[in-house]
């Protein structure tokens, strides 16, 4: 192998969920730390809970548009 062209290998990497704060230990990676926005512990698909994951206010924007369109139908 050529020297100096391969990324540094970390035998143990830490994964952190920014939503719930859970930390996981991963085995082998080129990154020493990962940050996830949502993990399996707090994701609605795995937990079975109805939870809205809002990205940049899209849910509020949709609700406002829906409320504005509702009186026009009547």
Question: What is the tens place of the pLDDT at every residue in 3-30?
Answer: 889 988 889 889 899 888 889 888 888 8
User: Is the full-model pTM beyond 0.75?
Assistant: no
72-to-52, 59, 61, 68, 69 alpha-carbon distances in Å: 27, 21, 18, 8, 6
Q: Who contacts 56 (Cβ-Cβ below 8 Å, separation ≥6)?
A: none
Residue spans per domain, the chain? 10-73
71-to-9, 38, 63, 64 alpha-carbon distances in Å: 59, 36, 13, 12
3-state secondary structure of 72: helix
* Cα 56 to the center of its chain, rounded Å: 13
């Amino acid at each position: 192998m050529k020297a100096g062209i391969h990324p540094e290998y970390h035998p143990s990497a830490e994964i952190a969920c920014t939503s719930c704060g859970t930390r996981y230990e991963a085995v082998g990676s080129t990154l020493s730390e990962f940050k996830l926005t949502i993990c399996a512990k707090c994701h609605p698909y795995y937990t079975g809970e109805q939870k809205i994951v809002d990205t940049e206010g899209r849910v509020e924007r949709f609700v406002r548009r829906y409320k504005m369109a509702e009186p026009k139908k009547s």
